[in-house]
Structure 1
């Protein structure tokens, strides 16, 4: 990639106030955002850039700095109590976090600050203005007003709706992970279209890969003996993820044809009620023999679980993209997902999986059962899904992100628009 604007080796500060890249996705408030930030940061570091990820200290024993790979370190910032906080408890610590972030940047400046989620953006915005550092903002999820008929994440603290709109207006550039998210940023938050860049996500196709015959021999033998297929659902146990719909759909499939359902994930700090409700729902529906709640798993174990599954379900009410659907595709596992948000882009309807509209569990059950009853169609989807995923890499995603950074730096320096040599990542970056 050949672009103008800024030094060849960039110093990038990712800001992750409320969750740490060191947390296992599916635990605490860690999810797809954590995977995305860490993967892009690692790819940028491998390309020779100096990357720091600033996060709030939630453990008093955590080291001040943790080097993950050469050129990539996590910096723990003291703001608020050194313990796990519920999401709603983070807004009061934003100012303190920003002050400590400013102190870190005074010791070691950054060429670009990239804030992840609105907490981070509001904390970083005054620092960016004082230091003259460009601020790039990613939302990862966007709140809808209380009482809205639209599906989406609810404001977990009073300032969120105003904070997201402010960042859409005032951040120097906005990063969306899908065309769906780009549309939401422009239409709902008032972000100027020319400042919203779509940076496609990648997937680790070596970690997430199809099951080799030998490692799945036990599963194949189980099927040969008439054993039930296994459907997997992955994510934090949060109402937005729609796991209750997955349970209702499973119950709507006749017992003789019913697959097993494996739910992988843990509740966020304030999500015990929903998690407990899922267990109670499974018991009420008579599914205790068909459902396994596995908790959160380290990434290698998660990848192994996914590739041994027959099908993945993603009933989330909304997703900016739906990274787990792409991870299933890389594993050769077809996906049944809600036709919402970025899932429309993560799943190629009828080719790598099926998109379902609405909340009728009978419709979801019919789609799941029809796929499981059609091995030839499932095999074709498996092949198409893997091919789809092979076209997405974290290296290309990081190149797209780097092009957005350099375009911003070039514009600030008065050097005009980004000039690209046609690399795949640069072509994928879209602003305006």
Structure 2
């Protein structure tokens, strides 16, 4: 499940009893009652059936919560024009960048945002991009939240995963796409030959996996790829790790809106090394809960890793500060309340 889906899922889960409409090509399962209906595409554009869905369900609600500006926001806007259904639109980062620099998309983006009851951004960085396209627009910044981490001892986690007690474990949990910077992490690992106990665990899958595995061929004994991991496996890796490292960067106009994985790592008491890109600068307090490094600079990443492993007291202090901040400042319950207070 990607960051956007997790953001929406947790936000709705916090809201309690409500109807959630999901447009998907996959079977939907989960707690509660799930009712499936077939949407038949009878004409272009492909999002047109969503207009009917917004009107049908929105008529019984105070507003429709729209997951993306384009194209779902277009359907919600038409439903408002034709049926008076108000809507709130969420923006995540890449969706805003895709609208910029494209005349038709920019026009539609502005129309969707100005007709919305409220526009929500997942970070100040995303809000800045929105205001660049729609000057003067009121934008509510609602960063992702995090839930308390499941308790698993370090020793139990390492035994489960086959990790020895003296290994220095660097963890990256991500969809393997260019902007995540996992290739930079592997380059940095190659620059630390003297750290013989260093192990990098890359948990996640994606289109870059084959390229990254090939890149790590000569690091085989130091890099473990875990493409298929259960929630319990991911929790075990968080418990087993010493440092979380994901040197994000912008890539072909793709940007990380916030970085939910950073919060999850912090909730597990891990110091975080993050790329100074997009909303990551809001997820990590440089020098307090982790370190911000220059994107595309493996030497900078290597220095950050070495400094944390050479100073376990500092590493522990950052991890505890990150945990305290995550659990006090990023509660999902507070996010839903803020949303409702601003509508």
What range describes the TM-score normalised by the shorter chain of this pair?
A: 0.7 to 0.9
Q: Is there any run of 5+ residues in structure 2 with no aligned partner, and where?
A: 250-254
RMSD (Å), alpha carbons: 3.0
What does 1:25-424 align with in structure 2 at a 5 Å threshold? 25=1, 31-45=2-16, 50-59=17-26, 62=27, 68-69=31-32, 78=39, 92-99=45-52, 101-102=53-54, 104-105=56-57, 109-117=60-68, 118-143=70-95, 160-187=105-132, 189-190=133-134, 192-193=136-137, 195-207=138-150, 211-212=152-153, 215-216=156-157, 218=159, 222-223=164-165, 227-257=166-196, 259-267=198-206, 271=207, 274-283=208-217, 286-317=218-249, 318-391=255-328, 392-405=330-343
* Cα contact 2:99–2:105 (8 A) shared by 1: no
Bigger mean CA deviation after superposition, 307-316 or 254-263? 254-263
State the Cα deviation string for residues 5-36 of structure 1 (Å, max 9, x = none). Answer: xxxxxxxxxxxxxxxxxxxx1xxxxx111111
TM-score (normalizing by structure 2): 0.86
Alpha-carbon separation, structure 2, partners of 1:263 and 1:291: 7
* Cα contact 2:274–2:292 (8 A) shared by 1: yes
Alpha-carbon separation, structure 1, partners of 2:197 and 2:3: 29
Alpha-carbon separation, structure 2, partners of 1:179 and 1:331: 25
* Cα contact 1:307–1:328 (8 A) shared by 2: no
* Cα contact 1:245–1:361 (8 A) shared by 2: yes
1:174 aligns to what SS in structure 2? strand
Superposed displacement of residue 79, structure 1? 5.2
How many corresponding residue pairs? 333
Superposed displacement of residue 41, structure 1? 0.6
Superposed displacement of residue 300, structure 1? 3.6
State the Cα deviation string for residues 370-411 of structure 1 (Å, max 9, x = none). Answer: 111211111111211111112021111111112123xxxxxx
Q: Greater relative contact order (Cα 8 A, min sep 6): structure 1 or 2? A: 1
1:93 aligns to what SS in structure 2? coil
Alpha-carbon separation, structure 1, partners of 2:88 and 2:163: 51
Q: Is there any run of 5+ residues in structure 1 with no aligned partner, and where?
A: 1-24, 26-30, 82-90, 145-151, 406-432
Superposed displacement of residue 349, structure 1? 0.8
Alpha-carbon separation, structure 1, partners of 2:66 and 2:187: 38
Given the superposition, is the C-alpha separation of residues 398 and 366 from structure 1 closer, same or farther in structure 2, using an over 3 Å criterion? same
Alpha-carbon separation, structure 1, partners of 2:260 and 2:142: 13
